[in-house]
Amino acid sequence: MNYNLIFLFILLNLPFFFYFKNIAKFINIYDAADGIRKFQKKSIPLIGGFILIYNIVSFFILDFFLELKIFDEKFTFSKREFFSLYIGSILFFLFGVLDDKYSFKANIKLFIIFILTLLVVMLDENLLITNLKFSFISHIIELDAFSYFLSILCFLLFFNALNMFDGINLQVGFYGVLIFIIFITKGLFINLSLIIIFSLLFFLLFNFKNKTFLGEGGVQLLAFLLSYIIIKAYNLEQDFFYVDEVFIIMAIPGLELFRLFLVRLLNGKHPFKGDTNHLHHLLIKKFSPNKAFLLIFCSIVISINLYYLIDSKLMYIFFIILFYSITIHQLSKKD
């Protein structure tokens, strides 16, 4: 473990620890209860994303001057690639912050995310998904002319899936921690992953006490970083990820996105307009928010671990989809 990173992290984040309320007042972006989807008793500051971007940018700058080696040697970054990661992180965060402040309409949000994603992919062509590799198929499926379309679609799907998954305290934060732990076990972006894990755990301390939320800025930033690293690693020759593995890692947020998209369309509603039909909402009707979080998080941890233990990957994917469908059906039943 890099103890220098831990020491620097603690030192850099002392202002948040001692002057949290002052920083929240200075940023002045709050999530207010609306009696429809948000039922907190008071307005909550949305500074979780600021904790993330503050640490990421700080370590980028320190890496430049002190050579902390945040990026592993296997990821030989050109200036163009580094700029894509750096500017992408900042732009997606800033867009999310503006959305927190002004609440953009769903179509505008989708369009802007599309433009930002296109910009990032054009800057770094190593983010283009040129083929599909499955663990249970020996043949690699080449995408050719569909590379740009599928690459941007994957980014958009993950952005929206993570956004829909963000609904109760601790959920997205711990989900992010889990995925970055997976990156570390695979030897991917180890130091950067540690920085983000520390940042998320620091945020979760406040989030557990209902003192702050991640906000759109934090969700957009986290979604970009997760998408970026997964696609970047997927394109390496070492086969760090397979398509079916990525599906399992984001199975619950992904299946939630697909289900809610379909249900809203069938009900004549906008597919990206919020409602209270999410998995966590259904669970909260029967359990406390903390129990709902634990049920969802434990399900994700178990499903990912079983993927690596079970040989028949294709059958396991069908099982996950079936289990999710049965769970939603049972939870949706009226008492």
pLDDT the model gives residue 38: 61
Angstrom distances, CA of residue 100 to CA of 25, 30, 110, 144 = 15, 8, 15, 38
Could you give the CA distance from residue 210 to residue 75 in angstroms, rounded to a whole number? Answer: 38
Q: Show contacts of 323-332: CB within 8 Å, 24+ apart.
A: 324/251, 324/252, 324/255, 327/279, 328/259, 328/279, 328/282, 331/279, 331/282, 331/283, 331/285, 331/286, 332/282
Q: What are phi and psi of 30, to 5 degrees?
A: -125, 155
Q: In tens digits, what is the pLDDT along the chain, a chain of 335 residues?
A: 567 778 888 899 999 989 999 999 999 999 986 655 565 678 999 999 999 999 999 988 887 777 666 666 566 567 788 889 989 999 999 999 999 999 999 899 999 999 999 999 999 988 999 999 999 998 999 998 899 999 999 999 999 999 999 989 999 999 999 999 999 999 888 888 999 999 999 999 999 999 999 999 999 999 999 999 999 999 876 779 999 999 999 999 999 999 999 999 999 888 877 788 999 999 999 999 999 999 999 999 999 999 999 999 999 999 999 999 999 999 998 76
Closest CA to 214 of 39, 52, 76: 52
Distance between CA atoms of residues 279 and 298, nearest Å: 14
Check residue 172 and give its pLDDT: 97
State the number of CA atoms in the 13 A half-sphere of 208 facing the CB: 8
